[in-house]
């Protein structure tokens, strides 16, 4: 008997785990790409733990206080308390710089792993009947994750972050009719007001994390209820609980949740933590000392959102002004900010959420599909990825123009055409290649039958 078996026998003896085999014996397919969801989950745990540490030293206030910390250039200056507290965390609180960087990198990995997890679910068709509800819950989680990162970005109240936050305020203000109210609720009124940082802090440390936790619980409950998907089998599989037919997709074959999958998950957790620690140890983050405190009179030369919001920034940068209009007879003005920053992103997120109802399946499917066998769905996925990539490049139009030795006036029309044409071309090419591939596979079957 191995040590693991001994440990199981001991715990089972005390807690009668076998009785709850339904959960502890739940099968987890041994697929590496299925671990991306777990990476997201563990990043969230790291974010919560490091966030608690940072919360003990951060001051959500823009009142001026005199800086007395160890950064020489700011000694004796009166600066916003939020900025001063982040300087203190970074340079004076023991382990503060490391924990702040850990929090930062965990936020990036959180969003990145969610994005990759979503792509895995999309391209393997794991959103199909009966998993549509979990796809919708997942879309909500993706939006909340970006919201958490955005509200956190603003908190140091340095010149760089507060300028980007000001753009968010202008966007919410651009919403026809209710814009002023939204600006008041989310940003505490005219940006930057003394209420902005407390309001964003409240959203960042309470409202959004509670919503994320709630949705993760729902996401996991649905997952446990519906079981995982599994890759189609090559033949019948012999398991400890009997032989499972190759085409029996009601029965999932995999590692039992406890102890095997629990051990795999522990490894994933520590690998995630190790990766984040390495990043935090070697790569600096958002250098508040270099940016300086918010300066209402100036605008920094380079303003940029985080990479995962760059696509929204891209819409804002390349949409031509003529798209703005006033609704006849109402006096309601629809600005390009509103179209690019609110309407288009909402349409993209709405399209993502509704996708499983476009690619509808009447019958439940528990096997994942090979993306190469789904020409039109994979083509749509490729088109969507290309669309987001071109939009993100558009968000960096000034850097692109500099690199090409030209002006944004020249690159913007090209990007505007590119954002429409490149996804269509990418999608059609993918469809063509996959359809031909399916055709030639059918052809070789015919030959084999002769
Ligand atoms: C905080 C964010 C998220 C966390 C922590 C999370 C976590 C997980 C975990 C641990 C699993 C099981 C393992 C796996 O398949 O990877 C899973 C499955 C699933 N997730 Fe997520 N997820 C998140 C966001 C999303 C998003 C953005 C989507 C899609 C829009 C999504 C859709 C799904 C679906 C449909 C399944 C079932 C897939 C299957 O059974 O193969 N999730 N999620």
Tell me the per-residue pLDDT of 81-138, one tens digit each, with 9 for 90 and over.
999 999 999 999 999 999 999 999 999 999 999 999 999 999 999 999 999 999 999 9
Contact between 174 and 319 (Cβ < 8 Å): no
Report CA(308)–ligand 1 centroid distance (Å). 18
**35 class by beta-carbon count within 10 Å (0-12 exposed, 13-18 middle, 19+ buried):** buried
Whether residue 418 has pLDDT greater than 70: yes
Whether the CB of 121 sits within 6 Å of ligand 1: yes
Q: How far apart are CA 417 and CA 412, in angstroms?
A: 9
Domain ranges within the chain, ordered by starting residue:
22-303, 312-450
Distance of alpha carbon 291 from its chain centroid, rounded?
A: 26
Nearest Cα residue to atom 1 of ligand 1: 141
Q: Tell me the backbone φ, ψ of residue 255, rounded to 5 degrees.
A: -80, 140
Contact between 149 and 107 (Cβ < 8 Å): yes
DSSP 8-state code for residue 178: T
Q: Is 1.10.3470.10 the CATH number for 22-303?
A: no
- Greatest CA separation found in the chain? 89
| Residue 17 pLDDT level (bands cut at 50, 70, 90) | low
Q: How far apart are CA 9 and CA 84, in angstroms?
A: 54
Whether the CB of 37 sits within 6 Å of ligand 1: yes
Report CA(365)–ligand 1 centroid distance (Å). 16
Residue 42's alpha-carbon distances to 37, 61, 138, 167, in angstroms, are 9, 30, 16, 31
Q: How far apart are CA 273 and CA 267, in angstroms?
A: 10
Whether the CB of 135 sits within 6 Å of ligand 1: yes
Report CA(36)–ligand 1 centroid distance (Å). 8
Q: How far apart are CA 5 and CA 364, in angstroms?
A: 36
Q: Which of 117, 149, 366 maximizes ligand 1 atoms within 8 Å of its Cβ, making it the mutation to test the pocket?
A: 117
Rounded average pLDDT over 368-393:
97
pLDDT in tens, 319-369: 998 889 999 988 899 999 999 999 999 999 999 999 999 999 999 999 999
Among 164-168, 219-223, 376-380, name the one with the lowest average pLDDT.
164-168
Contact between 406 and 269 (Cβ < 8 Å): no
Nearest Cα residue to atom 12 of ligand 1: 37
Whether residue 449 has pLDDT greater than 60: no
CB atoms near residue 444 (< 10 Å):
9
Q: Could you give the residue ranges of the DSSP H alpha helices within 25-125?
A: 36-55, 81-91, 96-123
DSSP 8-state code for residue 322: G
Nearest Cα residue to atom 31 of ligand 1: 138
Whether the CB of 109 sits within 6 Å of ligand 1: no
Please list, residue by residue across 116-129, b when 16 or more beta carbons sit within 10 angstroms of its beta carbon and e when fewer do.
Answer: ebbbbbbbbbbbbe
Among 16-25, 110-119, 246-255, 286-295, name the one with the lowest average pLDDT.
16-25
Contact between 294 and 83 (Cβ < 8 Å): yes
Whether the CB of 228 sits within 6 Å of ligand 1: yes
pLDDT score recorded for residue 21:
61
Report CA(421)–ligand 1 centroid distance (Å). 31
pLDDT score recorded for residue 239:
87
Q: Which of 28, 31, 32, 37 maximizes ligand 1 atoms within 8 Å of its Cβ, making it the mutation to test the pocket?
A: 37
Could you list the beta-strand ranges (E) of 171-294.
230-231, 237-239, 242-244, 255-256
What 165-169 contacts at long range (C-beta under 8 Å, 24+ apart), as own/partner pairs, is 165/191, 165/192, 165/196, 165/200, 166/191, 166/192, 167/303, 167/305, 167/313, 167/316, 169/196
Helix, coil or strand: residue 238: strand
Whether the CB of 117 sits within 6 Å of ligand 1: yes
Whether the CB of 123 sits within 6 Å of ligand 1: no
Whether the CB of 41 sits within 6 Å of ligand 1: yes
Whether the CB of 219 sits within 6 Å of ligand 1: yes
Q: How far apart are CA 139 and CA 352, in angstroms?
A: 7
Contact between 318 and 412 (Cβ < 8 Å): yes
Q: Which of 44, 131, 210, 219 maximizes ligand 1 atoms within 8 Å of its Cβ, making it the mutation to test the pocket?
A: 219
Whether the CB of 114 sits within 6 Å of ligand 1: yes
Whether residue 160 has pLDDT greater than 90: no
Nearest Cα residue to atom 25 of ligand 1: 138
Peptide bond into 259 cis (omega under 30): yes
Residue 277's alpha-carbon distances to 45, 270, 271, 364, in angstroms, are 14, 10, 10, 42
Q: Which of 44, 121, 231 maximizes ligand 1 atoms within 8 Å of its Cβ, making it the mutation to test the pocket?
A: 121
Q: How far apart are CA 354 and CA 427, in angstroms?
A: 19
Contact between 337 and 316 (Cβ < 8 Å): yes
Contact between 19 and 82 (Cβ < 8 Å): no
**5 class by beta-carbon count within 10 Å (0-12 exposed, 13-18 middle, 19+ buried):** exposed
Whether the CB of 223 sits within 6 Å of ligand 1: yes
Give the ligand 1 atom nearest the CA of 40: 5
Report CA(87)–ligand 1 centroid distance (Å). 37
pLDDT in tens, 185-214: 999 888 888 999 999 999 999 999 999 999
Q: How far apart are CA 395 and CA 306, in angstroms?
A: 11
pLDDT score recorded for residue 45:
98
Q: Tell me the backbone φ, ψ of residue 337, rounded to 5 degrees.
A: -60, -45
Whether the CB of 36 sits within 6 Å of ligand 1: yes
Whether residue 180 has pLDDT greater than 70: yes
pLDDT score recorded for residue 394:
98
Give the ligand 1 atom nearest the CA of 212: 1
Q: How far apart are CA 207 and CA 76, in angstroms?
A: 36
Nearest Cα residue to atom 22 of ligand 1: 37
Q: How far apart are CA 361 and CA 357, in angstroms?
A: 8
H-run or E-run covering 66: strand 64-66
């Amino acid at each position: 008997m191995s040590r693991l078996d001994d440990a199981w026998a001991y715990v089972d003896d005390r807690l009668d785990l076998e009785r709850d085999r339904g959960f502890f014996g739940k099968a987890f397919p041994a697929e590496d790409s299925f671990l991306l969801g777990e990476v997201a989950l563990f990043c969230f745990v790291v974010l919560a733990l490091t966030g608690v540490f940072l919360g003990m030293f951060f001051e959500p206030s823009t009142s001026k206080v005199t800086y007395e910390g160890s950064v020489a250039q700011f000694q004796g200056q009166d600066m916003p308390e939020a900025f001063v507290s982040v300087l203190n965390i970074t340079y004076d609180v023991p382990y503060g710089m490391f924990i702040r960087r850990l929090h930062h990198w965990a936020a990036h990995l959180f969003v990145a792993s969610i994005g990759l997890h979503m792509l895995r679910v999309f391209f393997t068709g794991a959103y199909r009947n009966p998993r549509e509800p979990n796809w919708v819950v997942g879309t909500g989680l993706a939006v909340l994750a970006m919201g958490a990162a955005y509200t956190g970005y603003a908190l140091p109240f340095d010149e760089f972050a507060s300028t980007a936050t000001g753009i968010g305020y202008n966007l919410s203000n651009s919403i026809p009719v209710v814009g002023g109210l939204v600006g008041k609720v989310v940003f505490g009124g005219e940006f930057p007001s003394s209420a902005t940082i407390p309001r964003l802090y409240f959203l960042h440390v309470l409202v959004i994390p509670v919503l994320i936790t709630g949705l993760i619980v729902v996401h996991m409950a649905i997952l446990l209820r519906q079981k995982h998907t599994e890759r189609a089998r090559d033949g019948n599989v012999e398991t400890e609980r009997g032989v499972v037919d190759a085409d029996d997709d009601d029965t999932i074959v995999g590692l039992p949740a406890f102890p095997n999958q629990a051990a795999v998950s522990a490894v994933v957790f520590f690998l995630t933590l190790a990766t984040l620690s390495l990043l935090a140890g070697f790569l600096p983050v958002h250098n508040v000392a270099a940016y300086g405190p918010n300066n209402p009179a100036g605008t920094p030369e380079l303003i940029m959102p985080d990479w995962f919001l760059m696509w929204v920034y891209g819409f804002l940068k390349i949409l031509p002004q003529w798209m703005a209009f006033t609704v006849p007879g109402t006096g309601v003005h629809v600005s390009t900010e509103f179209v690019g920053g609110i309407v288009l992103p909402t349409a993209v997120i709405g399209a993502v959420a509704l996708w499983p109802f476009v690619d509808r399946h009447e019958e439940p499917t528990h096997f994942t599909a090979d993306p190469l066998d789904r020409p039109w769905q994979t083509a749509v996925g490729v088109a969507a990825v290309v669309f987001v990539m071109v939009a993100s490049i558009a968000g960096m139009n000034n850097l692109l123009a500099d690199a090409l030795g030209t002006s944004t006036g020249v690159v913007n029309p090209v990007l505007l055409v590119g954002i429409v044409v490149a996804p269509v071309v990418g999608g059609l090419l993918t469809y063509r290649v996959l359809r031909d591939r399916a055709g030639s596979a059918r052809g070789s079957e015919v030959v084999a039958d002769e």
